[in-house]
Structure 1
């Protein structure tokens, strides 16, 4: 039988690479969610959100936005994620950094990235990644019509960078494109001294947590793999 097809509702190349390295070959469709507006609306309804809840809220919003877009063109109901029948599962993810009780996503510009690094250096923050998984399989194909989600949290310890190191890293442009203004799998790797928790959460998708969510939908992780592991 063909693997269960997954559509990743994220533009993150790190998330895509992590899934591919684990044997999953998702298609990609980027959501049109306005993150600031989504958080503002949720805060207006329910009051201030915990950082992990912000990540989960945005992950859910992205997944549901893509599901709605697929429904608009009739591209739902199982099959090849890139084909006419649409994907079996849609995965939305979002990451935020918690520092001093504040929530940080991608920096707006280089000045904000440099300021954040001057606050982070020599200290630790918590990276929260929300995961939201939607089952689009029809009931006749074992579909549950369910949605499941959870957030993973990992403590990240940052090196005590000098001002010149901060400026040189920000000048690469990388911090402007990632939550928290750092990576562990790219140019920011030398500036992270330790991690407490799942490193995949920091990259953008926790595979152990995703395996649990897949299980809640009545599937096994190997159902998503495109080929047997040698």
Structure 2
């Protein structure tokens, strides 16, 4: 297989990709992560593509670069990463007892040919009701501060989720089935470890 690069410093994405038994290099380049004025799924695709293309521009060797971006949407409002504990508390109070949708955009860019594809996954997540004390205790752990929507489904935030419809890995930050299908379009089958070089 040609070399894989992950255009993200997210430890969750790194763990998910490593769980597939893949060798890859983490290389992130600062980009504008402002969401364009598009529907949420298309907006995160665009940001994921920016990330992947920024890394691809730095490479000379044959490689595939994976970019991703995740947002939470509740009642039509996009919730990114909270700026501080106060904003994390506000987000969690807004989400408690209700359902929201997590969108993750994924982009793959081939080097040196420059071919790029982007897609997204959407998962519906329903929270149990939370007391102010529970919200405060969770935020005090520090876990919500670098997570879209202010919670981690793979951590203590799992205690809030009473129902999930769609890909769990999407909520963590990298929908693995979607990524696998996208890589097949580049001639790479992760299960068979085949690379047709297309």
TM-score in same-fold range (> 0.5) = yes
As a proportion of its length, which structure holds more helix? 1
2 CA distance for matches of 1:25 and 1:117? Answer: 36
Corresponding position of 1:25 = 23
* Divergent runs of 4+, >6 A: none
Q: 2:100 aligns with which of 107, 115, 125?
A: 125
Match of 1:148 among 117, 120, 130: 117
| Alpha-carbon distance in structure 2 between the residues aligned to 1:16 and 1:216 | 22
- Structure 2 counterparts to residues 23-172 of structure 1, below 5 A: 23-36=21-34, 39=35, 42=36, 48-68=37-57, 70=58, 75-78=59-62, 88-136=63-111, 145-172=114-141
Give the 3 Å change call, closer, same or farther, for CA 222–145 of structure 1 in structure 2. farther
What secondary structure sits across from 2:156 in the alignment? coil
Larger radius of gyration: 1
Give 3-state SS (helix, strand or coil) of 1:35's partner: coil
Q: How many residues align?
A: 194
Q: Deviations over 1:62-84 (max 9, x none)?
A: 1111122x1xxxx3222xxxxxx
RMSD, matched Cα: 1.6
Q: 1:170-193 CA distances to partner (integer Å, 9 max, x unpaired)?
A: 111111111111111112111111
Residues 1:203 and 1:224: Cα distance change in structure 2 (over 3 Å): farther
Deviation at 1:145, TM superposition (A): 4.1
Q: Give distance in 2, aligned partners of 1:108 and 1:224.
A: 40
Contact residue 9 and residue 91 of structure 1 kept, 8 A: yes
Unaligned segments of structure 1, at least 5 residues: 43-47, 79-87, 138-143, 226-230
